[in-house]
Structure 1
Amino acid sequence: MVKLIVTDLDGSLLNDKKELPADFWKIEKVLRERDVVFCIASGRPHHNLVNLFKPISAHTYFLSDNGSYVTYGEEALLVKTLDSQIVKTLTIASRGLTDVYPVLCGMDKAYMENHNDALLSQALQYYQSYQIVEDLTKVAEPILKVSLCDLQNAETNSYPHFRKYEKDYKVAVAGERWLDFTAFDANKGAAVQLLQQRLGVGYAETMVLGDYLNDLEMMGVAKYSFAMKNAHPGIIAAASFITEADNNYNGVLRAVDSLLQLKHNFS
């Protein structure tokens, strides 16, 4: 019996317009009534998740910044920050790449040093709380994640330049336009394991769903690991199942409905 469901957002629960499925709130209520814990695991920052899920934020586990920051209500269950020196190193290295812009992700807001319209059009989808600064290497706040917004393609343009850091830090292609850096032991899979321990839920009682390479570790900690139909080939290879529908056609909710036999009639 599934007792814990963890889903990614962009490319998974959300459609390409960044919208929640119309039936989400009904399904979430049914799961709660059945004592199934529903969680959100995303590369997005905490403030964004709380705003998006405001009606249920008081009783929802949020695994934000790729698992670097895990919360339940007002309680912080896990906080993993990056060493300030690597933050500076990554920031400086990214400045030499074409169409690549660093974003530093703190616990309460993000920091950028460029007003580039293309950057802002990408970043403001996820970072409503942000500050433009003159020099990111001078930011003193603890940083959970460094994200590079790559306006070309993160996997082919910026990732090859930063592959060398993989021995010491978690480097994840988080989307077509995003390359993320977190502490080596900070990832969605480790965050899900933290919840399993806290809730007393086992591998065979866990369902996870994701679409991109920052979901990779998550695929290995649940018996019911689902790659979205629209997922990156690396996630499809790592998952045990593939959703019948993609993120634009309620892929997550339909997989949940089928596995738990909710028998919901989707609108």
Structure 2
Amino acid sequence: MIKLVVADMDGTLLDDQKKLPADFFEVLERLQQKGILFCVASGRQYYTLLEEFFDIRDSIVFCAENGTYVVYKNDVIHLDTMKKSDAIQLIKVGRKIKNAFLVLCCKDSAYVENTDVAFLDEVRKYYKRLEIVGDLTQVEDEILKVTLCDFGDSEKNSYTYYSDFEKDFKVAISGKIWLDITNLSANKGTAIKQLQKDFNISFDETLVFGDFLNDLEMMETAKFSYAMKNSHPEILEAASFVTQFSNNESGVTKTIKYLCCPEVLPV
């Protein structure tokens, strides 16, 4: 029996217009009736996720910032912060990358030091709390990750600058233009394992959905690991199953209906 359902946001639960499936709240209500815990696991900021799900904020788990910050009912149940000296080292590299812009993601806010209009328009989609500062290395906050918004393609451009750092940090390609760098211990998989431990939920009782490379470790935490039909090739290979429908076809909720509540919610 499934007791925990975990879904990534962009490219997974959300369609390409960043909208939830029309039947999401109906499906969530049915999961709650069955005692099944729902967790949204995203590279997005906690405060952005909180705004999206504000009306049901006490009913779901927020696994934010690629697993570095997990909150349930306003209580922090998992936090993986980065040393400031490490973040400064990563920031100095990022400043050298053409077409890429830095975001310092912290517990209380996200911070940027560049005022490029296209960059700010993009970053504000994912960071509800955002401050513009003169120097990221001078920020005083608990650091969760260093992120780059890379208009030159994160996999082909900024990742090449950080590939040599992978022995010391987790370097995750989170989307076409996003690169996230955290502690080695920090990823969605680590966070979900902590969640399973806290709620006494097993591997066999977990269902997860993802689509991009920052979801790789999460695929290893569940018997029912689903790559979206529209996933990156490495996620398709890592997952045990592939959804019949893409994120633009409500692939997550349709699969949940089929697996968890087919008796009352036909696909």
TM-score range, shorter chain: over 0.9
Q: How far apart, CA to CA, are the structure 2 residues paired with 1:109 and 1:59?
A: 23
Question: Displacement, 1:257?
Answer: 1.1
Cα distance between partner residues in 1 of 2:29 and 2:67: 25
- Cα distance in structure 2, aligned partners of 1:109 and 1:78: 17
The 8 Å contact of residues 108 and 141 in structure 2, kept in 1 or not, is answered as: no
For 2:127, the equivalent position in structure 1 comes to 127
Query: Structure 2 counterpart of 1:36, which letter?
Result: I
What is the match of residue 98 of structure 1? 98
Which residue is 1:203 aligned to? 203
* Partner SS for 1:104: strand
8 Å CA contact retained: 1:104, 1:147: yes
> Identity, % of aligned pairs?
43
Equivalent position of 2:265 in the other structure: 264
The alignment status of 1:224 with 2:224, answered yes or no, reads yes
Residue equivalent to 2:89 = 89
Equivalent residues of 1:169, 1:184 under 8 A apart = yes
* 1:47 alignment counterpart: 47
TM superposition outliers: structure 1 runs of 4+ over 4 Å:
none
Name the structure 1 match of 2:183.
183
SS in 2 for 1:10: helix
* Amino acid in the other structure paired with 1:148: L
| 2:27 matched residue in structure 1 | 27
Contact 2:45–2:128 under 8 Å retained in 1: no
Paired with 1:112 and 1:265, the residues of 2 have a C-alpha distance of: 45
SS in structure 2 of the partner of residue 58 of structure 1: coil
**Distance in 2, Cα, partners of 1:84 & 1:57:** 31
Question: Any idea what the Cα deviations from partners look like across 1:190-240, whole Å, max 9, x if unmatched?
Answer: 111111111111111100000000000000110000000010001000000
What secondary structure does 1:220 align onto? helix
Q: TM-score, normalised by structure 2?
A: 0.97
In the alignment, which residue of structure 1 is the partner of 2:150?
A: 150
Aligned-residue CA RMSD (Å) = 1.0
Structure 2 counterpart of 1:160, one-letter code: T
Farther off after superposition, 210-219 or 70-79: 70-79
Which residues of structure 1 form unaligned runs of 5+? none
2-side partners of 1:108 and 1:60: how far apart?
A: 20
| 2-structure distance, mates of 1:194, 1:61 | 12
Residue pair 2:31, 2:260 contacting (<8 A) in 1 also:
no
Judge which range, 256-265 or 166-175, deviates more: 256-265
> Which residue pairs with 2:213 in the alignment?
213
1:261 positional shift: 3.8
Q: Which amino acid counterpart does residue 222 of structure 2 have in structure 1?
A: A
Shift of 1:108: 2.1
How far residue 43 of structure 1 moved from its aligned partner, in angstroms, is 0.4
1:97-132 Cα deviation digits (max 9, x unpaired) = 111111001112110011111211210110121110
The C-alpha deviation readout for 1:158-192, integer Å capped at 9, x for no partner, is 10110111111111000001000111111101111
Q: Secondary structure at the match of 2:166?
A: helix
**Equivalences, count:** 266
Conserved in 2, the CA contact under 8 Å of 1:118 and 1:151? Answer: no
SS at match of 2:157: helix
Aligned residues of 2:258 and 2:266 also touching (Cα < 8 A)? no
TM-score after normalising by structure 1: 0.97
Structure 1 residue aligned with 2:7: 7
Instruction: Tell me the SS of whatever aligns to 1:191.
Output: helix
Shift of 1:265: 4.5
